[in-house]
Amino acid sequence: MTIEEIKITLTNKFSGSIIENEELSDKQIEVEGSKWLEIATFMRDDPNLSFDQLECITGVDTGEDATLQSRYNLHSMEYRHKVEVVINHDKKNPKVPSIEQVWRIGDWFERETYDMFGISYEGHRDLRRILCPDDWEGWPLRKDYEGQESYHGIVVPKIKEEDEWE
């Protein structure tokens, strides 16, 4: 199926949740966050779409207007078609339903996006940090991240702005 047909199938079933956005490329679909679990289950189980592989979840700090984005790349092994789903979150309180029961790799991918950006996934059974230590402060990959002063007695070096050779 082409991207247009996939968009039409999804818009027919979930008319309120598919958002039209001209800034996205033609391979991307923007979806509203609150219904994401039903849409994901439909995309996996529908016999014409059959998206059984979640390739990647990327968290993005767009840097403007206090938005964070999650981008999900999906692929179907049977039909060999792909699509990218974009969901916008509010930076002050970013949350979205968790899809770890739909694609089992979502478990670790969502933990990583939580660790790096602070997006909380509702319904995730074990949402804790995966790469940074459990008692680390802050969300490292946000553009306004300031490192903490010290960690267990070891000084954490500040992220330098420009090249300084002393």
Partner 1 sequence: MGVVQGDQMVLNIGPQHPSTHGVLRLEVMTDGEIVSEIKPHLGYLHRCFEKHSENVTYEQVIPFTDRCDYLASMNSNFGYVVAMEELMEIKVPDRVEYIRIIMGELNRVASHLLALGVYGLDIGAFTPFLYMLRDRERILDMFEYTCGARLLYNYMWVGGVSHDLPKDFEKICFGFLDYFEPQIDEYNNLLTYNKIFVERTADVGVIPADVAISYGVSGPNLRGSGVNWDVRKDESYSIYDRFEFDVPVGDGKFGTLGDCFDRYWVRMLEIKESVKIIRQALKDIPSGDVHQALPKKIRPPKGSVYRRTESPRGDLGYYIISDGSPVPSRVKMRSPAFTALSCLDEVSKGWMISDVIAILGSLDIVLGEIDR
Partner 2 sequence: MGVLENKFQDNVVVASLDKLLGWARSTSPWYFQFGLACCAIEMMASAASRHDLERIGMMPRSSPRQADVMIVAGTVTMKMALRVKKLYEQMADPKYVISMGSCATSGGPYWQHGYHVLKGVDLVVPVDVYVPGCPPRPEALIEGLIKLQEKIQTERPLTRDLV
* Alpha carbon separation from 19 to 60, 90, 128, 132 (Å, rounded): 19, 16, 31, 34
Q: Is 140 in the site for partner 2 (CB under 8 A)?
A: yes
Q: Is 80 in the site for partner 1 (CB under 8 A)?
A: yes
* Chosen residue from 19, 46, 48, 56 binding partner 1 by CB under 8 A: 56
Q: Is 154 in the site for partner 1 (CB under 8 A)?
A: no
Q: How far is the CB of 112 from partner 2 (least distance, A)?
A: 14
* Residue count of the chain: 166
Q: Which two tokens stand for residue 86?
A: 């974009």
Q: Is 16 in the site for partner 2 (CB under 8 A)?
A: no
Q: Which two tokens stand for residue 83?
A: 């699509």
Q: Is the dihedral of CA 45, 48, 49, 51 positive or negative?
A: positive
Site residues for partner 2 per CB under 8 A: 132-133, 140, 145, 147, 151-152, 154, 156-157, 159-160, 163
